[in-house]
Each structure stands twice: as C-alpha cells, then as structure tokens.
Amino acid sequence: MNQPVEALVEAPADSPAEVEAETFERGPEAVVAALVRRARTAMDAFADAAQARVDEAVTALAWSLYKPEHAAALARMAVEDTGIGNAPDKVVKNQRKTFGTLRDLLRAKSVGVIEELPHLGLVKYAKPVGVVGAVTPSTNPAATPVNKAMMALKGRNAIVIAPSPAGLATTTRTVELMRAELDKIGAPADLVQVLPPPADKASTRALMAACDLVVVTGSQNNVREAYRSGTPAIGVGAGNVPVIVDASADLDEAAERIARSKCFDNATSCSSENSVVILDDVYDEALAALERAGGYLANAAEKEAIRGTLWVNGKLNRAVIAKDARVFAAACGLGGRAPDAKFFLVEESGVGRAHPFSDEKLALVLTVYRAASFDDALERVRGILEFKGKGHSVGIHTREMAHARRLAEELDTARVLVNMAHTFGNGGGFDSGLNFTLSMGCGTWQGNSISENLNYRHFLNITHLAVPIPEDRPSEEALFGAHWEKYGR
C-alpha cells in the first residue's frame, strides 16, 4: 500500500509524454498537433465500439484510480507535489468520486439510439464530440483527470489533459495508469493522453485551439482563455459557499455536517463551506455546537492574526492554504486550544473587498455571520454570492422547506442543498440526486455555459431522426384568444 506510485506501473515506452517531449523544441503547436493526431487515430479505432465495450473502457479507467494502492499512492504524490490538502482525504476523494461517477455512467446509454419518443416521431442517436482538451486543477490532480476521462470515453471521444503545473507529475502518472488499464483490455491507449512538460500556458492554449471541445476546471483565467479560444468550451466557476443555519435546524447535526464538510481535504473543494449565516434566535447555541464539532472561535486579535497570515498583498498565501489545522494555527501564531482544533471560526459583519473573510479561503477558516431574521439571512447570502461565488451553490440546515424553496426561487445559484454536508452532496452523493462530478457549472451568472454538474451528456453530439406524426396544429383562437380578449386585435 505504501510503495511509491512509480512502482505501480511502468509507463509505455511510446507514451505521449516521452515521445512528444523529444519534439517540444518544435514549439507547443507542433507537439499538440501530434497528440491530437494520435487521439483521432485512437478514436477511429474505437468508433464502432458497442455500449458494452465502451462501458468496459470506462470501467478500466475507473479501476486505474479506484484500485486501493493506486488511490493511496496518487493521493500521497498529489500532496507532495502541490502541498495542498491531505493524503487520507484525497484517497477518499479518489475512490468515492470515481465509484460514484462509474455508478452514474454504467446506468446511462451513450451509443447508438439513446432515446425514442414515438408520440413526437423522434429518435435520438448519440455521436462523439471529438477530441476533448481538458484543463485540470492542482487541487485534484488525480481525481479530476480520471473523472473527465471517464465521461469523455463514455461518448467514444479521446481526451488530452492539460494539468496544472503544480500537479503535472501526479497527473502524468495518473494518465499512465489509465493508459495501462486501457492497454490491458485491448483498447487504444491514446484515447487518454497528457501534455508533456512543461505543460505551460502556451501548450494549454495550443490544445484549446486544436481540439474539438475544451472543458476547464480550476483557474478562472483558464476558463476565460477557453471561451476566447474559438473552440466550443465548457467552463466552471469559483465557489464561495454560504450556508444558513436556520432557527429550526438540529444544531448538533448541522454543526457535525458543516465540520465534516469544511475539514475534508483541508477545505480544498470549491464546494466547501466558506461562510455560515446563523439566525439570531439560535446564534449562541449554534456557535457552541460548532465548537463541540471541533471549531475554535477566534477572538479579535486572533482574527487579525489570521487575516495577516492568510492574505499577503491581497492574495491568498499559498504557504498556508489547505494546510492541516495545527500547521495553520502555528503559522498564525494561535496558542491555547487553537492547535487542537479541527477548524477556525471568525465572526464577521461585512461583505466585499474590504472584508476578505467574505471571500473563498481555501483554508480551514469558516466565517460566521449573525442574521436577525430569515429575510436578513437570505440577503446576507445574496450579498456574499454577489461578491464571490454567484451561480455556484448555497446550503441551508432547516426543518422549514419553505425557507429552502425561497433560496431556490430568489437566489442566482445553480444548487441549493438542504441538510447536507455540502462538500459531499454538491458534486454528487449517494444520498443526493445530483450526479457525481468534480466540475460544477455556475451558469451565465458566472460566465459559464452550463448551470449543472458536468456529466457525460456534455460529451455527446445528438442526431435527431424525425418522422411525420399526426398534425399538431392548434387554432388561432386557442393561441391568440386570451390575448385578443385582454388587449384586442
């Protein structure tokens, strides 16, 4: 279990990273062109694959990461490479996301006829979108590449992955493991490739221009580059999740869920709670519940120490984000009980640039707001999202479903989670109807082309076969009658 990941599988002698690195002196465009040619050749060889064969390939990719020794080794490698998160939680993420995504994919049709609507005279046929260029983040250098590759291959596409420079080594090894599993089942290994070192901005831009679909998770600069590339693109937005603790909530259950979610992988997830808005009626009791769940409430001086450490020149300090609680406490100079806490609570009253605690923190720091009423809480959440994270998601712990419905009706957000540990429900859960993914679309609210969880359907072109049906032509009176009666002809 603890052997280095390099020992788990040997990279094929002709892996793209090795072959193309030799020619990188010709420029990134030439390297990318060679990768895309290989991808198209692999797609041609896979073009006639039946659904069962496609699902074999998808399962092979899943096993390449779900396999316990692979999940553990890549988790350790990711933390060593990036300095972000913690290995035990990354093992859980590697396996849980992969298992859940495989569940979703094996239940879906993606080859040939995928839907028939006789009453409309329509039959829908699934076709590949082509070569996918996938940009992946340093927060999940193993889980996200496998997740996207599984979805891409479900549609009989090929994929070329552009890793974050910080996660390049982990992503490269992850791709080697995927290729080895494809080779084991006799499927073309070049269905999955990775940009060779240095995998920099120039090569990523070249990939965006050369592929048929760009899918970006991570940096918003990369999302904007994708939309400017001239290639059809799917980008996802930044998170900054606010969660309401309503007066009717079970406070200890809510605190346990929030703590478990906030602490997972040291708060690297875009779905991690960043702010909690507590109703005044239960404010003190809810704070006490959060402390019982492992939170440490910073005093005014400690709050300033955290602020001065977490942000440097207005930017998050990479030396302290996504670190273990004890490491973070030491960096901030927090003494007493703080080093033994699981996460840190900071009370705040403002939102916006002058109040950085209202922003996404990527650290074990949870901002706490007091709200006089549910209306006040809703407006506080609205203000937080307007500042950062609009379109992403919101949570609420409540027994009043009418309050949850108001959030869904009134806020510009793609997801409202009720009584859930947000990190474990937002990107798909076994007790959540949202599909498993590592990429959450935020709609036009955040400049994205989708407002749902990225899934295999985004990797399909659909041909619609239409045949004649009995005429469905209503009368003029049926369509215009109400208008004529109210406004005249």
Cβ(133)–Cβ(119) under 8 Å?
no
Q: What is the pLDDT of residue 12?
A: 43
β-bridge partners, 115: 124
Q: Is the pLDDT of residue 19 over 70?
A: no
Calculate mean pLDDT across residues 343-349: 98
Calculate mean pLDDT across residues 262-278: 97
Cα separation of 43 and 28, whole Å?
22
Q: What is the pLDDT of residue 25?
A: 63
Q: How confident is the model at residue 18 (pLDDT cuts 50, 70, 90)?
A: low
| H or E segment to which residue 39 belongs | helix 28-46
Least confident of 10-14, 337-341, 447-451: 10-14
At 433 the three-state DSSP class reads: coil
Q: What is the pLDDT of residue 9?
A: 38
Q: Is the pLDDT of residue 456 over 70?
A: yes
Angle among Cα 11, 15, 17 to the nearest 5 degrees reads 105
Q: Which of 71, 10, 198, 143 is nearest to 423 (CA)?
A: 143
439 occurs within a structural domain: no
Q: Is the pLDDT of residue 1 over 80?
A: no
**358 shares a domain with 301:** yes
Q: What is the pLDDT of residue 11?
A: 41
Q: Kindly report whether the peptide bond that precedes residue 198 is cis, defined as omega within 30 degrees of 0.
A: yes
**Concatenated DSSP letters of 42-89:** HHHHHTT--HHHHHHHHHHHHHHHHSHHHHHHHHHHHHHHH--S-HHH
Q: How confident is the model at residue 5 (pLDDT cuts 50, 70, 90)?
A: very low
**Tokens read off for 276:** 């909690």
Q: How confident is the model at residue 154 (pLDDT cuts 50, 70, 90)?
A: very high
Least confident of 17-26, 193-202, 290-299, 434-443: 17-26
Cα separation of 164 and 170, whole Å?
10
Q: What is the pLDDT of residues 40-65, one digit of tens each?
A: 999 999 999 999 999 999 999 999 99
**Which residue do the tokens 């922003």 mark?**
359
Q: Is the pLDDT of residue 289 over 90?
A: yes
β-bridge partners, 368: 276, 347
476 occurs within a structural domain: no
Catalytic entry in 211, 270, 332, 442: 270
Cβ(167)–Cβ(190) under 8 Å?
no
Q: What is the pLDDT of residues 396-417, one digit of tens each?
A: 999 999 999 999 999 999 999 9
Q: How confident is the model at residue 230 (pLDDT cuts 50, 70, 90)?
A: very high
**283 shares a domain with 160:** no
> Which residues are CB-neighbours of 393 under 8 A, at least 6 positions away?
239, 241, 271, 413, 414, 415, 416, 417, 422, 426, 440
Angle among Cα 36, 37, 43 to the nearest 5 degrees reads 85
Quick count: other Cβ atoms within 10 Å of Cβ 123?
Answer: 16
76 occurs within a structural domain: yes
Cα separation of 231 and 221, whole Å?
16
Cα–Cα distances in angstroms (integers) from residue 210 to residues 340, 379, 387, in the given order: 51, 44, 35
Q: Does the predicted TM-score (pTM) go above 0.95?
A: no
**274 shares a domain with 221:** no
Cα–Cα distances in angstroms (integers) from residue 14 to residues 30, 296, 411, in the given order: 17, 52, 51
More confident residue, 455 or 11: 455
Cα separation of 268 and 301, whole Å?
26
**411 shares a domain with 382:** yes
The percent of residues above 90 in pLDDT, for the chain, comes to 93
Instruction: Give the CA radius of gyration of the chain.
Output: 24
Cα separation of 434 and 89, whole Å?
21
Q: What is the pLDDT of residue 8?
A: 38
Least confident of 211-225, 330-344, 401-415, 446-460: 211-225
Q: How confident is the model at residue 199 (pLDDT cuts 50, 70, 90)?
A: confident
Quick count: other Cβ atoms within 10 Å of Cβ 416?
Answer: 16
441 occurs within a structural domain: no
77 occurs within a structural domain: yes
Q: Is the pLDDT of residue 13 over 50?
A: no
**442 part of the active site:** no
448 occurs within a structural domain: no
Q: Within its chain, how far is the Cα of 128 from the centroid? A: 23
485 occurs within a structural domain: no
**174 shares a domain with 138:** yes
Phi–psi pair at 483, nearest 5 degrees: -65, -45
At 287 the three-state DSSP class reads: helix
Query: The domain spanning residue 266 has which CATH number?
Result: 3.40.309.10
Q: Is the pLDDT of residue 428 over 90?
A: yes
**Which residue do the tokens 């109210």 mark?**
486
β-bridge partners, 312: 315
Q: How confident is the model at residue 10 (pLDDT cuts 50, 70, 90)?
A: very low
Q: What is the pLDDT of residues 110-145, one digit of tens each?
A: 999 999 999 999 999 999 999 999 999 999 999 999
Quick count: other Cβ atoms within 10 Å of Cβ 240?
Answer: 23
**265 shares a domain with 186:** no
**271 shares a domain with 222:** no
**395 shares a domain with 267:** yes
Query: Rounded mean pLDDT of the chain?
Result: 94
**63 shares a domain with 10:** yes
Least confident of 82-96, 219-233, 384-398: 219-233
Q: Is the pLDDT of residue 16 over 80?
A: no
Cβ(360)–Cβ(384) under 8 Å?
no
**184 shares a domain with 257:** no
Cα separation of 95 and 9, whole Å?
19
Cα separation of 124 and 11, whole Å?
39
**Which residue do the tokens 């290989």 mark?**
38
**59 shares a domain with 166:** yes
Cα–Cα distances in angstroms (integers) from residue 51 to residues 154, 183, 298, 420, in the given order: 9, 18, 55, 35
Calculate mean pLDDT across residues 314-323: 95
Query: The domain spanning residue 154 has which CATH number?
Result: 3.40.605.10
Q: How confident is the model at residue 4 (pLDDT cuts 50, 70, 90)?
A: very low
> Which residues are CB-neighbours of 141 under 8 A, at least 6 positions away?
78, 81, 82, 163, 164, 166, 167, 168, 170, 171, 174
488 occurs within a structural domain: no
**220 shares a domain with 81:** yes
Burial-class residue 218 by CB neighbours within 10 Å (0-12, 13-18, 19+). Answer: buried
Q: How confident is the model at residue 15 (pLDDT cuts 50, 70, 90)?
A: low
More confident residue, 21 or 110: 110
Instruction: Give the residue numbers spanning the domain of 61.
Output: 5-236+454-463
Q: How confident is the model at residue 87 (pLDDT cuts 50, 70, 90)?
A: very high
Please give the tally of structural domains in the chain: 2
